[in-house]
Amino acid sequence: MESAADPRSPLEQSSLQAAAGPDWQVSLHARAESTNALAVASARKGLVVVADHQTAGRGRLDRVWETPAGAALTFSAVIDPQLEFQWWPVLPLMTGLAVARAVGPQAALKWPNDVLIADHKICGILVERVETGAGALAVIGIGLNVSQRREELPHEGATSLAIAGLATDRTALLGAVLGQLRWGMGQMLADPHGVLAGYRGRSCTIDRDVRVELPGGSTLEGRAFDVDDHGRLVVVPASSVPAVQAQPAAMDPRTAVVVSAGDVVHVRPLQ
Ligand code: BTN
């Protein structure tokens, strides 16, 4: 069992399974390149692939997600969302909301689904769609920084639960995140607009000045105005509103640009 004294003691299959509960089948790997790759290859509903040390995780926008041995909670859960096609783009946002709820009230969401504490990234999420003969499944990949020290983090914009002074028991965290994921999956079916409302309530991007690095290499600067019902970021470009910083009330949403993929930089730090 992972002790409070040493958050990096090795994970144990039976403890993880007990924390996850009977709806999930946990498969623990002492070392794996990418739990998402393993989960995509298996594509079995309810499977949760956990790596004690993930060495070449897949990140958003073709990046690599690396974490030191035993310092992070890295796992991928296979779900059958049973969603109408239109709601699939909201799954990554729902996942961000689920992780934020598991972490606690300090956690906020940077569009689309980075989980931040005090404007520093604590968790990255990569959702992949897998087509099977019996329909589409989703692989929900979650990388949560748990006990990293500052010098072990990939950049200054990252943090860990330990640095934030929060609990670092990876087994308990897996149980908490999976519990919130189950809640989120139920909500997606019952009330997807409610999920989006919950997401917006946790957003630290809406109403901020942002620079969005778009997949083609161009950038968009402006004020994040909203997240729409498709999970897209609605940005009012700075160029269309000369007084955007001085007079946010003067923004006209008719000039807005809708962004479905990209990397957001919050231009000014939180006050
Ligand atoms: C991001 O770029 O912010 C998303 C990072 C997602 C990393 C997680 S770690 C567990 C899972 N397995 C992977 O290969 N990637 C995800």
For residue 234, the model assigns a pLDDT of: 97
User: Can you read off the two tokens belonging to residue 136?
Assistant: 């589409």
Is the CB of 112 within 6 Å of ligand 1? no
Query: Which of 149, 160, 148, 155 is CA-nearest to residue 118?
Result: 160
Alpha helices in 125-237 (DSSP H): 170-190, 192-202
Phi and psi angles of residue 199, each rounded to the nearest 5 degrees, phi first: -60, -50
For residue 239, the model assigns a pLDDT of: 78
pLDDT over 60 at 4, yes or no? no
Over residues 9-29, the mean pLDDT reads: 98
pLDDT over 90 at 2, yes or no? no
Non-local (6+) Cβ contacts of 188 within 8 A are 81, 83, 87, 90, 91, 94, 195
Query: What number of other Cβ atoms are within 10 A of residue 61's Cβ?
Result: 10
For residue 249, the model assigns a pLDDT of: 45
Q: How confident is the model at residue 269 (pLDDT cuts 50, 70, 90)?
A: low
List, for residues 173-192, the tens digit of each pLDDT value.
Answer: 999 999 999 999 999 999 99
Query: Which of 231, 104, 82 is CA-nearest to residue 177?
Result: 104
pTM: 0.93
For residue 7, the model assigns a pLDDT of: 78
Over residues 198-215, the mean pLDDT reads: 97
Over residues 40-58, the mean pLDDT reads: 97
Over residues 87-94, the mean pLDDT reads: 98
**Summary mean pLDDT of the chain:** 93
Is the CB of 192 within 6 Å of ligand 1? no
Instruction: Report the share of the chain in percent with pLDDT over 90.
Output: 88
Is the CB of 193 within 6 Å of ligand 1? no
Q: Which atom of ligand 1 has the smallest separation from the CA of 143? A: 9
Is the CB of 111 within 6 Å of ligand 1? no
Over residues 202-230, the mean pLDDT reads: 96
Of the listed ranges 2-11, 16-25, 103-112, the least confidently predicted one is: 2-11
CA angle 120-125-128, nearest 5°?
160
List, for residues 226-256, the tens digit of each pLDDT value.
Answer: 999 999 999 999 876 544 444 444 566 678 9
